[in-house]
């Protein structure tokens, strides 16, 4: 997994009024959960931009007033109208305790069904996995070269070494859909 450096300052005041004042000063209220007491801190919105608006999953090297730890971003809250970041939850991670994250899915190869006139469709852009953070890759790669026309790849067929997939086993990850042209070609070939 990629790493991200983030510095923050401990919040002196908690509550709705203090959080609103932090947001006005372009800071985002954050909480670090995990080992020990929860740590309430703020980070500047500009520092968080590359962490939030990215499809990648990061291990965040957090530095809150000199105390350093490794964490992942667990939850994110946006304003319903302005889409400004309101709040972020971080989870402290260790090398011995497994974590649950959503990893992006990337399809590799040219599917047989696409050669026959179908259209490849990625149905699940992310898969939820559980494992030690040191063993988690940046993305899940799925080979689709043998995927035929009208066929699907389900979560049960996807295997990632050292990780447990938590999505429903019968959920469709990718499929080759029949297009109108492929249906028409199949119909005319069937009449001959």
Same domain assignment for residues 110 and 175: yes
Count up the domains in the chain and report the number: 2
Same domain assignment for residues 105 and 179: yes
Same domain assignment for residues 10 and 42: yes
Same domain assignment for residues 76 and 120: no
Same domain assignment for residues 86 and 123: no
Same domain assignment for residues 152 and 131: yes
Same domain assignment for residues 181 and 112: yes
Same domain assignment for residues 184 and 129: yes
Burial letters 29-52, b for 16+ CB under 10 A, else e:
bbbbebeeeebbbbbeeeebeebe
User: What domain range includes position 185?
Assistant: 99-191
Residues 28-85 pLDDT 10s: 888 888 867 788 888 888 888 888 888 788 888 888 888 888 888 888 888 888 888 8
The pLDDT score that the predictor gives to residue 76 is: 87
Same domain assignment for residues 79 and 123: no
Residues 109-144 pLDDT 10s: 888 888 888 888 888 898 899 888 888 888 889 898
Same domain assignment for residues 88 and 118: no
Same domain assignment for residues 15 and 60: yes
Contacts of 74 (CB under 8 A, 6+ apart): 33, 89, 90, 91
Residues 84-97 pLDDT 10s: 888 888 888 888 88
């Amino acid at each position: 997994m990629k790493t991200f450096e983030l510095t923050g300052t401990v919040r002196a005041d908690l509550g709705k009024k203090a959080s609103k004042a932090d947001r006005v000063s372009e800071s985002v209220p954050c909480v670090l959960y995990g080992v020990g007491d929860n740590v309430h801190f703020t980070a500047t919105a500009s520092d968080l931009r590359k962490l939030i608006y990215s499809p990648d999953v990061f291990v965040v090297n957090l530095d809150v007033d000199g105390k350093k730890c490794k964490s992942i971003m667990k939850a994110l809250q946006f304003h319903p109208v302005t889409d400004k970041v309101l709040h972020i939850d971080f989870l402290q991670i260790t090398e011995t305790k497994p974590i649950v994250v959503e990893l992006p899915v990337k399809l590799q190869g040219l599917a047989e069904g696409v050669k026959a006139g179908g259209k490849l469709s990625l149905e699940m852009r992310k898969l939820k996995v559980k494992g030690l953070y040191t063993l988690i890759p940046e993305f899940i790669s799925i080979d689709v070269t043998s995927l035929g026309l009208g066929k699907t790849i389900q979560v049960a067929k996807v295997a990632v070494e050292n990780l447990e997939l938590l999505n429903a086993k019968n959920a469709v990850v990718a499929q080759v859909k029949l297009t109108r042209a492929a249906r028409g070609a199949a119909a005319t070939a069937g009449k001959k």
